[in-house]
Each structure stands twice: as C-alpha cells, then as structure tokens.
C-alpha cells in the first residue's frame, strides 16, 4: 500500500493519483491507517489541485464500497432524485410517491439541513412516529411494498463518506466540487439505483449562486455518474425565490399534503416537480418522452394515487395513518401566527432567499450547531416570489413563531429580504438548464 502521506504529497503537487491508491486511502480512513489529520490534508489538496474525471470516479466508487451496496430485484426501475438544497424545497416529499405511483421504485436517502437550506430528513422528522433511520431490512421492505421509502443516511451506506464529510465540515473544504460530487454519488450508487436526476439549484438561496457554477456541478455529477455506470440527468433550477411558499419543517409537510391532495398547486413548485419526475420516468423506461411522462405524473396526482402512496409510506415507517386527512392533529403548530404586509402596493423585485432560510434557523427551525434540536412548528407560509404583487392585503409572508420576540426578529428579517418596486419585473424561468 502507498503510504497515506505519499498520496497526499502527490495530489498536493498536482499529480494524478492511481485509482488503487485512492481506494487504499479510503480503506485506511475506515480501518484507522489514515488519520483525521491526513484526511483533512487530502481534502485540502483536492480543494486546491482538483481531481481528474478518472480520479473523481475512483473516489466515488471507493466511498460507495466502504459499506453495503444494495441490490434490488423489483418489477420496475429503481430511481432517485437529489437536490443540492434550497429554501422551500419540499419537492422530494411529493416526488417520491408520484414516481412510485407511476411504477418506479424510489429508495431515497436524504440529509439534514445544511447551512441556510432545509433538509428533507428534518421535514420527515416533524411527522410523529416516522422512523427516519430504519435498518436496511425495513428500508428494503418499505421500498418493495410501497414503492418509495424516504429516509436519512444509515451507517451501512457509504460510511467513509460520512467520516470524510465530518472532516470537510471543519476544515473549509465543503465547497470542493470534486468532493461534493463524490459525496452525493457515493450514497446514490450504494442505494443500487438504475437512474438518477440531479436538481442543481442556482441563485440567491442556493450554494451555487451563478449559472456557470451550477452548470459546472451538474456536468461533474453527470460525468462521474456515467463513469460509474449510473444513468444521470441534471437540471439547473431557479432558487432566486423560495420554491414553495412554505419554509419550515412541519409547514413544508403540510404544504406537501395540500399539493398531493390538489388543494394547492403553485406554478413554480408544480413545474419543477413535474420536470424532475418526468426525467425520472424517461430514465426508467416508464414513459417514452417527457410530455408523456408529465401526463402520467399529473394523472397520478389527480387520481389520488400519489397521495395514497405517501400515506402508506408514512404508516409503514411508523407515522400516523390519518396524517394526510388530518394533518392538524399531528403536525406541531406555533403559538404566534403573524402576517407581514407592506403599506404601499408594489411588486417583488429581488429576494434574498438565503436570508429567509437563515430567518427560519433563527426561529428555531434549523441548527447553528450539529447537536442543536429543531422546532418543527416554526417558519413561514405564504412567502411571496419575485414578480408577485404585494401590499396591505397581499403579505410578504406569514410568520409562525413561538414567542413575540422571535416573531419580531423574523419580521425584520423578512422585510429586509425583499426589494419592492412600483412595476412588475421579470422573474427567472424555473428551469434554467439541462445537462445529460
């Protein structure tokens, strides 16, 4: 085995590392032959010197093989979607049951909130009784019987990635495109997927704020996934406004239930959900083309099949059987609900979407430290998007807070996040690019 310090030295000096060296380094991270300091040095070397495509593939596959790699024997394709994170991004909660209702199988492994972005895992944890980290047997069973199972990462799948990520988190290397790509795809490959659709967010509420950066990440993921044998499409989607009008954990679950039931179909959220789902169906051979796939997904929504699948998944993972019919009985609610209006009518211009995400955290709906607990009840509903009319009778949003002081701070943050003008401006298209 090449000594860890020699692998680090090679990458520090900009030399290409052999796949066997990368595999040995990752194995050493698991068995203790590679120290945390060496892993940190490797991550920093990669951050500055970058990885070639073969190196990216080798690192991704080594992280994947550090734990269990699932294999499926199912009558339909195994598909998934992953988002780089945003504000009001509840798409996964709706999309997994929609695709399952169309004949796909979706074993979706999600994460906690990161920075200002909300995490699907935290949203699911706001459902009483829902087991967000079942063992692999239960994960397999629910996926097979229901068609979808949305959970958090288990210790069995890509454990070396979890170790490397914890080191990156405290060494200033989280933003490395190479390491982001390997981290995302190692977990997806370990889940035994047949097709993946990446949702790369771009804008004021995304980690990638420019279209060039978002395209770069999308191209990296598609390239590495292809090199590892996973058919993948990446969509670059807008995050210059909150995607859903709700931001906060239980509030986004309630929003999803309204969406699945047809009580609310906001255009931007609906469009992105359909586009991502349509790509999944085409990748899995469940539809001949994107228009046909959109029709199938719409039928799954309108018939109630997607809502039924969601309810079955919740029940199978320990949640309440009547959540879809009576969310008010089960989802936490805040004591203070306050609308935030402006005195003069106008139109939303720019939105600092990141600031809205940070305001959710300040309310208690996210973490400032890894060990922090989350209040599922707090956040915002009715959030305005760029181009929306606002005024005395059309609020910027509605605050859900535990006390008056928290509500006051959230109101100040929400007002500061919006720029209002006298005339409607042009909002960005929801779908900004497609990479395949």
> Per the residue annotation, which of 56, 123, 163, 188 is the catalytic one?
188
Worst-scoring range by mean pLDDT, 56-60, 110-114, 238-242, 358-362?
110-114
> Do residues 270 and 361 share a domain?
no
> Per the residue annotation, which of 120, 352, 381, 430 is the catalytic one?
120
pLDDT of residue 43: 95
> Do residues 157 and 287 share a domain?
yes
9 is catalytic: no
Look at residue 205 and tell me if it is in a domain.
yes
Q: What is the CATH number of the domain that holds 357?
A: 3.90.1170.30
Find, among 55, 3, 52, the residue nearest to 28 by Cα: 3
Look at residue 169 and tell me if it is in a domain.
yes
> Per the residue annotation, which of 143, 183, 315, 430 is the catalytic one?
183
| pLDDT of 70 over the 70 cut | yes
161 is catalytic: no
123 is catalytic: no
> Do residues 103 and 39 share a domain?
no
pLDDT of residue 262: 95
pLDDT of residue 369: 67
> Do residues 26 and 87 share a domain?
no
Average pLDDT over residues 345-365: 94
Average pLDDT over residues 295-319: 98
> Per the residue annotation, which of 187, 201, 307, 312 is the catalytic one?
187
Look at residue 71 and tell me if it is in a domain.
no
pLDDT, tens only, 121-153: 899 999 999 999 999 999 999 999 999 999 987
> Do residues 300 and 388 share a domain?
no
pLDDT of residue 406: 96
Look at residue 59 and tell me if it is in a domain.
no
168 is catalytic: yes
Dihedral angle at the C-alpha atoms of 378, 120, 276, 141, nearest 10 degrees?
-140
pLDDT tier, 29 (very low <50, low <70, confident <90, very high otherwise): very high
| pLDDT of 425 over the 80 cut | no
> Do residues 136 and 163 share a domain?
yes
> Per the residue annotation, which of 11, 82, 112, 307 is the catalytic one?
82
> Do residues 40 and 122 share a domain?
no
> Per the residue annotation, which of 11, 56, 81, 215 is the catalytic one?
81
Average pLDDT over residues 413-431: 89
Look at residue 428 and tell me if it is in a domain.
no
> Do residues 305 and 405 share a domain?
no
**Total structural domains within the chain:** 3
270 is catalytic: no
> Do residues 163 and 296 share a domain?
yes
188 is catalytic: yes
| pLDDT of 313 over the 70 cut | yes
245 is catalytic: no
Is residue 209 within 8 A of residue 202, CB to CB? The reply is: yes
| pLDDT of 423 over the 80 cut | yes
Range of the domain at 234: 79-316
Find, among 169, 131, 116, 179, the residue nearest to 365 by Cα: 116
pLDDT tier, 234 (very low <50, low <70, confident <90, very high otherwise): very high
pLDDT of residue 112: 67
Look at residue 403 and tell me if it is in a domain.
yes
Is residue 7 within 8 A of residue 59, CB to CB? The reply is: no
Q: What is the CATH number of the domain that holds 283?
A: 3.40.1030.10
> Do residues 255 and 358 share a domain?
no
Give the long-range contacts of residues 129-137, CB within 8 A, separation 24 or more. 129/318, 129/319, 129/320, 130/314, 130/317, 130/318, 130/319, 131/317, 131/318, 132/317, 134/317, 136/68, 136/70
> Do residues 346 and 301 share a domain?
no
Q: What is the CATH number of the domain that holds 32?
A: 1.20.970.10
Average pLDDT over residues 364-385: 87
pTM as predicted: 0.91
Q: Which residues make beta-bridge pairs with 112?
A: none
Find, among 240, 185, 245, the residue nearest to 217 by Cα: 185
362 is catalytic: no
83 is catalytic: yes
| pLDDT of 340 over the 90 cut | yes
pLDDT of residue 424: 82
């Amino acid at each position: 085995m090449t000594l860890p310090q020699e692998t680090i030295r090679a990458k520090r000096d900009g030399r290409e590392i052999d796949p066997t060296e990368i595999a040995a380094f990752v194995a050493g991270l698991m068995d203790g032959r590679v120290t945390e300091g060496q892993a940190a040095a490797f991550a920093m070397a990669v951050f500055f010197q970058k990885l070639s495509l073969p190196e990216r593939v080798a690192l991704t596959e080594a992280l994947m093989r550090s734990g269990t790699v699932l294999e499926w024997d199912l009558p339909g394709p195994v598909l998934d979607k992953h988002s780089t994170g945003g504000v009001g991004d509840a798409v996964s909660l709706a999309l997994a049951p929609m695709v399952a209702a169309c004949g796909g199988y979706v074993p979706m492994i999600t994460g906690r909130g990161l920075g200002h972005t909300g995490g699907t895992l935290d949203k699911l944890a706001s459902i009483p009784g829902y087991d967000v980290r079942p063992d692999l047997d239960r994960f397999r069973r629910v996926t097979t019987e229901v068609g979808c199972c949305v959970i958090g990462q288990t210790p069995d799948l890509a454990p070396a990635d979890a170790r490397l990520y914890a080191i990156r988190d405290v060494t200033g290397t989280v933003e490395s495109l190479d390491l982001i790509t390997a981290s995302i795809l190692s977990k997806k490959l370990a889940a035994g997927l047949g097709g993946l659709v990446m949702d790369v967010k771009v804008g004021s509420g995304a980690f990638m704020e420019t279209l060039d950066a978002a395209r770069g990440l999308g191209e990296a993921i598609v390239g590495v996934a292809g090199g590892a044998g996973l058919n993948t499409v990446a969509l670059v989607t807008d995050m210059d406004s909150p995607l859903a009008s709700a931001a906060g954990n239980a509030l986004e679950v309630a929003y999803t239930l309204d969406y699945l039931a047809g009580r609310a179909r906001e255009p931007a959220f609906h469009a992105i959900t359909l586009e991502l789902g349509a790509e999944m169906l085409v990748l899995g051979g469940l539809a001949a083309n994107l228009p046909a796939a959109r029709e199938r997904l719409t039928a799954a929504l309108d018939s109630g099949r997607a809502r039924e699948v969601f309810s079955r998944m919740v029940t199978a993972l320990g949640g309440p059987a009547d959540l879809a019919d009576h969310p008010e009985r089960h989802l936490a609610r805040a004591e203070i609900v306050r609308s935030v209006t402006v005195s003069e009518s106008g139109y939303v211009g720019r939105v600092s979407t990141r600031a809205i995400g940070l305001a959710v955290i300040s309310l208690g709906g996210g973490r400032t430290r890894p060990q922090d607990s989350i209040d599922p009840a707090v956040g915002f509903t009715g959030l305005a998007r760029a181009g929306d009319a606002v005024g005395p009778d059309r609020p910027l949003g509605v605050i859900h807070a535990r006390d008056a002081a928290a509500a006051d701070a959230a109101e100040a943050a929400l007002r500061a996040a919006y720029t209002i003008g006298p005339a409607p401006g042009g909002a960005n298209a929801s779908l900004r690019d497609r990479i395949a």
